[in-house]
Structure 1
Amino acid sequence: MLSDPFNPWLSRPTTPPATEAAPIADVPKTFGPVAPQRGIPAPDRVDQLPIYNRNTTAALWWVGAHGGAGESTLAALLPGSQAAGHSWPHTASASPAPTVLVARSDARGLRAAQAAMRQWAAGLVPSVEVLGLVVMADAPGRLPRALRNLMQVVSGGVPRTWSVPWVDAWRVGEPPALSSSPREAQRLVNELTAILGAAGTLN
């Protein structure tokens, strides 16, 4: 005699609830040059970032265009990435190291980013692949028009540009955490994860 499949006294296998996969960000489009170009004048040597050998590997390097840019803060938000300080990384890998420039949104920071981009665009840093630029707010509130215009000019020299607003908690020394970061920072990490995943450089 067959067992009643609906008999409450008989144990039945349970089906685990279906789980949805976490959404994966699309690889963002590029809006600027993705490789060095001929005819780009190099910045003066005093304005160039040094190139240092790195004995460690990283899925991504954050390069601060100047002191206080915020590269260490961003490195804490993306596991597997490292802050390179204010220098270009040169690793033992045969492939260029994925790199993102970081600068503050004041005039000094944007001009430092522009000099670093010209150094890369002139072909002086073959050890890196510049994925884009992150502009970190230097103060709360909206940028003045002059700085917005300068930022637009600077953004034209890199493949992509992201902006991260002012975060009071980071200023007073609270450890950066992606879960409590502004949505712009979360979008940055999601898009970089997509870029690195598509390139096969993020495990």
Structure 2
Amino acid sequence: MTSLVEVLGGVDVGAAWPDPSRGQPRRIVLVGRTSARGLQSISRALGAFDAGRAPQGLDLLAVVLVADAPGRLPLGLLRRIRVLRSAARVHRVPWIPAWRVGSTPKALPRQFDRLAELVGSGIYSNGTVS
């Protein structure tokens, strides 16, 4: 998710696993949308990680779920998120309308405070992007 990289720093490796043996990041955050497909993708990635099908030496910091639409999630999706929380630390990012149209929000939700601390971001600070 490029928007998260812009706010928190890091590298977006897309759908591939980074390979620390090639100098790619060792500390990772799995990012997905809160849609049914997004949650299924995260679930598959966690399964692969737990089964050892990811490169050796990766350190999973958390799963970040970005809202796929404004408003409350349906109960079925909330249940899937509870299952994910049983397997990994999960952070949720609410719907940010500015991102939809490719602009930068004036302020970011408080959820970014915890994410910035988790990933050691020097880019984000108290609701603003430096």
1:115 correspondence with 2:44 = yes
Output aligned runs, 1:40-79, within 5 Å. 71-79=1-9
Percent identical among aligned pairs is: 36
Measure, in 2, the Cα distance between the counterparts of 1:180 and 1:186: 12
1:97 correspondence with 2:26 = yes
Measure, in 1, the Cα distance between the counterparts of 2:118 and 2:20: 24
Give structure 1 regions of 4+ aligned residues with deviation exceeding 6 angstroms.
Answer: 93-96
- The number of equivalent residue pairs is 120
Give the match for residue 168 of structure 1.
Answer: 97
Measure, in 1, the Cα distance between the counterparts of 2:51 and 2:60: 13
- Which of the pair has more CA radius of gyration? 1
Measure, in 2, the Cα distance between the counterparts of 1:157 and 1:146: 18
Give the match for residue 108 of structure 2.
Answer: 181
Give the match for residue 138 of structure 1.
Answer: 68
Cα shift readout 1:31-68 (whole Å, capped 9, x = no counterpart): xxxxxxxxxxxxxxxxxxxxxxxxxxxxxxxxxxxxxx
* Displacement of 1:184: 1.0
Return the match for 1:191 from 112, 118, 129. Answer: 118
Residue aligned with 1:92, SS: helix
Return the match for 1:157 from 87, 90, 96. Answer: 87
Residue aligned with 2:62, SS: strand
Q: Could you tell me the TM-score, scaled by structure 2's length?
A: 0.82
More helix by share: 2
Q: Could you tell me the TM-score, scaled by structure 1's length?
A: 0.54
